[in-house]
A = this chain, B = another copy of it.
Amino acid sequence: MIERKQIIGFEQSAEGKDMLHSVNPATGEKVGDFYKATADEADKAVEKATAAFQVYRKKSGKEKAAFLDAIASEILALGDKLVTICCTESALPKGRIEGEMGRTANQLKMFATLLREGSWLDARIETANPDRVPAPKPDIRYMQIPLGPVVVFGASNFPLAFSAAGGDTASALAAGCPVIVKAHSAHPATSELVAKAIQKAAKATDMPDGVFSLLFGDGSTIGSQLVKHPDVKAVGFTGSYTGGKALFDLAVRREVPIPVYAEMGSTNPVFILPEMMRNEAEAFAKNFAGSVTLGVGQFCTNPGMLIYEGSESGKDFTIKLEAQFKQTNPGVMLATNIYKAYKKGVEHHLETNGVEVLAKGQHSDALNTASPVLFKTDSKVLHKHPHLSEEIFGPSSIVVEAESKKDMLKIAKNLSGHLTATVHGTETDLLNHADLLDILEQKVGRVIINGFPTGVEVNSAMVHGGPFPATTDGRSTSVGTAAIFRFTRPVAYQGMPQALLPDELKNTNPLGIWRLVNGGMSKEGI
């Protein structure tokens, strides 16, 4: 049953009167009215999280792993019930949501595996040397510890994988931090079902009341309140530049500033190099059109810009792009405001002198339904109108003709921070464009060769992040095991008796983890 109330630790709560309306974007029909959290309810969630932290931070890696695994199981056990409500609220197709449910469970399990293995926390030991001159060397031991309660803002475009039990929640819980999720208003029912799965898992694995809460409401009210709360220690966010930057500004102006990991979107430029363009135009055009319009273009890694070097083959290339793009399908967007923003972004491009429409995808007049649009311009216009390199969230991209290799490098140099950059080239192309790759790795979190940025692997080597304005903290990733370090900091224990040291740092190495002992990696005891 959907109760439409806040989940505050192990309780449900509905003290407010203001309501949030969940709507099926494909039909305009109401899914349900949800109680918005009051200021008191938000404070209660933080209070519970703060108390829970003192218990949760002491749980062993194995205990936290059992919790994460239980969340994964509970979510999978929701099965079709979750898929149906999620499809209704997001207008995303069933196959996509089923896949996303699997990904969400796998993310949790990945962190559970990381915790069970245990070496992630970067244990470092320098043993004492009482005979050192001029002064004895003390015993010092270092590891990562959790920051404290974390606030997570659910994303619209991943109602499961980046929402209530999404990447930020998984990495924060894995780090040892209680989580308060501000549910995205486009899928509150989905969020409630998932939050209850977490609640059930927490009870089943003996986790403290308050280790997880879910609140409904607006970012500008309840969201701001949470970010400003003195007991909140970090923030995870996926969404728009405006939303993420506003939270960052609040957080750095607090009496005690806290880190904000906001992933704020990206144009994900794609470069195609001359030989590849001559030889593989057809296949590339097909895959590019597919990547731009996948999931109605609603991915953070959607390739929103394509750069090529003008030449004879360039004409043939754009003809092929046009032909492929014409075949793409329209789709219902996640929410009315997102559809409106897409239309506005497209209109802004159309109004820009020197920008033409290269191709339009299939059209539909159905509610909130976006038609793909492929724009074309040249580098002169791009240099003059930098807004053309900003993200339009939806099934759109802009093709930019560069005058020369030098001009292509100039476009790359002018890029702001993005999540990804992609280069398509033959081996010869790539060797001839090492300078391009060199520029791009300084602009993004992930460089992709002969692939497409959509489809983000979840593993130990992924970086889903990048320099500002792609994110507010380019030193971090929101996907993959390295995301756990968002929510930790190092502490050193000097001269601490063995009995009082955490297991991770005891001489005997009871957990059998990898540690840096006097500068060398070791799994042995001391």
Binding site for B on A (CB under 8 A): 99, 113, 117, 119, 124-126, 134-135, 137-138, 140-142, 145, 147-148, 248-249, 252, 256-257, 259, 416-417, 427, 430-431, 434, 437, 441-442, 444-451, 455, 457, 459-463, 465, 467-469, 472-477, 482, 485, 488-497, 499-500, 514, 516, 518-519, 521
Q: Are B248 and A494 in contact, with the CB atoms below 8 A?
A: no
Q: Are A490 and B457 in contact, with the CB atoms below 8 A?
A: no
Subset of 12 A-B contacts with CB under 8 Å: A140-B461, A140-B462, A142-B460, A148-B442, A257-B472, A445-B490, A447-B492, A449-B493, A451-B494, A451-B495, A475-B489, A475-B490
Q: Are A519 and B460 in contact, with the CB atoms below 8 A?
A: yes
A126 and B447 in contact, given A482-B142, A497-B430 (Cβ under 8 angstroms): no
Report which of B256, B473, B521 forms a contact with A469, defined as CB distance below 8 A.
B256
Residues of B within 8 A of A459 (CB): 126, 140, 519
| 9 A-B pairs with the lowest CB-CB distances in the bound complex, closest first | A463-B492, A252-B252, A142-B461, A124-B461, A449-B495, A126-B461, A140-B461, A446-B492, A448-B494
Residues of B within 8 A of A437 (CB): 500
Residues of B within 8 A of A476 (CB): 489
Residues of B within 8 A of A430 (CB): 497, 500
Bound Cα distance A462, B518 (Å): 12
A259 and B475 in contact, given A138-B451, A140-B459 (Cβ under 8 angstroms): yes
A455 CB to nearest B CB, Å: 7
Residues of B within 8 A of A451 (CB): 138, 494-495
Most chain B CB within a 10 A radius of its CB, from A117, A259, A447: A447
Residues of B within 8 A of A99 (CB): 134
A90 CB to nearest B CB, Å: 20
Report which of B135, B491, B492 forms a contact with A455, defined as CB distance below 8 A.
B135
Bound Cα distance A417, B255 (Å): 12
Bound Cα distance A491, B448 (Å): 11
Report which of B417, B434, B461, B516 forms a contact with A492, defined as CB distance below 8 A.
B461
A-B contacts besides A137-B457, A431-B500, 4 pairs, CB < 8 Å: A117-B519, A126-B462, A437-B500, A460-B519
Bound Cα distance A256, B461 (Å): 26
Residues of B within 8 A of A465 (CB): 489-490
Q: Are A494 and B447 in contact, with the CB atoms below 8 A?
A: yes
Residues of B within 8 A of A113 (CB): 519
Bound Cα distance A48, B101 (Å): 50
Bound Cα distance A446, B490 (Å): 9
Residues of B within 8 A of A461 (CB): 124-126, 140-142, 492, 516
Bound Cα distance A500, B433 (Å): 10
Residues of B within 8 A of A117 (CB): 519
Bound Cα distance A444, B437 (Å): 41
When C-beta atoms are compared, the residue in chain B nearest to A257 turns out to be B468
Q: Are B125 and A447 in contact, with the CB atoms below 8 A?
A: no
A451 CB to nearest B CB, Å: 5
Bound Cα distance A129, B220 (Å): 44
Residues of B within 8 A of A249 (CB): 252
Residues of B within 8 A of A416 (CB): 256
Residues of B within 8 A of A467 (CB): 256, 489
Q: Are B135 and A460 in contact, with the CB atoms below 8 A?
A: no
When C-beta atoms are compared, the residue in chain B nearest to A443 turns out to be B491
A493 and B447 in contact, given A124-B460, A460-B516, A521-B514 (Cβ under 8 angstroms): yes
A386 CB to nearest B CB, Å: 13
Most chain B CB within a 10 A radius of its CB, from A437, A472, A492: A492
Bound Cα distance A500, B449 (Å): 11
A506 CB to nearest B CB, Å: 14
Bound Cα distance A472, B491 (Å): 16
Residues of B within 8 A of A257 (CB): 248, 252, 468, 472
Bound Cα distance A137, B499 (Å): 45
When C-beta atoms are compared, the residue in chain B nearest to A251 turns out to be B252
Q: Are A463 and B145 in contact, with the CB atoms below 8 A?
A: no
Bound Cα distance A245, B413 (Å): 32
Q: Are A445 and B491 in contact, with the CB atoms below 8 A?
A: yes
A269 CB to nearest B CB, Å: 15
A299 CB to nearest B CB, Å: 15
Residues of B within 8 A of A516 (CB): 460-461
Residues of B within 8 A of A475 (CB): 259, 485, 488-490
A188 CB to nearest B CB, Å: 30
A448 and B495 in contact, given A126-B461, A460-B516 (Cβ under 8 angstroms): yes
Residues of B within 8 A of A449 (CB): 493-497, 500
When C-beta atoms are compared, the residue in chain B nearest to A449 turns out to be B495
A94 CB to nearest B CB, Å: 15
Report which of B138, B468, B485, B491 forms a contact with A463, defined as CB distance below 8 A.
B491
Q: Are A491 and B446 in contact, with the CB atoms below 8 A?
A: yes
Residues of B within 8 A of A489 (CB): 445, 465, 467, 474-476
Bound Cα distance A459, B491 (Å): 14
